[in-house]
């Protein structure tokens, strides 16, 4: 059993100390913090076929597909004012026949994740997920 200390510690309210006569427990007698619920944005690590995982994999894959096959702007295809894609030389080296670079992979993967997180949070907000 943990012993409690019978000393009093000064407590401050503003600039004036307030001396309390209540006994103070030692650090070994302090109860551990209990977890408070999951909150609004609680993350669950379920199985690979969970709805959240399927949404994230689908949105990231679709964005990578769009970037690789020329449906989205990339380092070698810039968008014009009319949202048409025109080919230009970016100077980045790539071994891909379509010219998909590492920067394109990172950018498309990031945008895919952003879209996926938006879908997951939106569905969670309306209670469908």
**Residue among 98, 79, 78, 81 at smallest CA distance from 90:** 78
Listed in order, strand segments (DSSP E) in 61-109 are: 77-79, 85-87
pLDDT band at 43 (very low <50, low <70, confident <90, very high): low
Residue 111's pLDDT is: 94
Distance (Å, whole) CA 77 – CA 20: 72
Q: Are 59 and 115 in contact (CB under 8 A)?
A: yes
The mean per-residue pLDDT over the stretch 7-14 comes to: 65
pTM of the model: 0.58
Rounded mean pLDDT of the chain?
76
Torsion of CA 41, 117, 124, 50, to 10 degrees: -100
pLDDT band at 19 (very low <50, low <70, confident <90, very high): low
Q: Are 89 and 76 in contact (CB under 8 A)?
A: yes
């Amino acid at each position: 059993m943990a012993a409690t200390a019978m000393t009093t510690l000064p407590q401050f309210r503003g600039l004036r100390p307030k001396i309390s006569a209540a006994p103070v427990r030692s650090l070994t007698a302090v109860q551990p913090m209990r977890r408070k619920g999951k909150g609004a944005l609680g993350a669950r690590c379920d199985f690979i076929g969970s709805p959240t995982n399927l949404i994230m994999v689908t949105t990231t894959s679709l964005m990578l597909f769009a970037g690789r096959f020329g449906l989205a702007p990339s380092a070698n295809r810039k968008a014009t004012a009319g949202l048409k894609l025109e080919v230009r030389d970016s100077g980045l080296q790539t071994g891909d026949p379509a010219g998909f670079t590492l920067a394109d992979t990172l950018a498309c993967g990031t945008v895919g994740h952003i879209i996926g997180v938006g879908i997951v949070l939106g569905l969670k907000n309306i209670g469908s997920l």
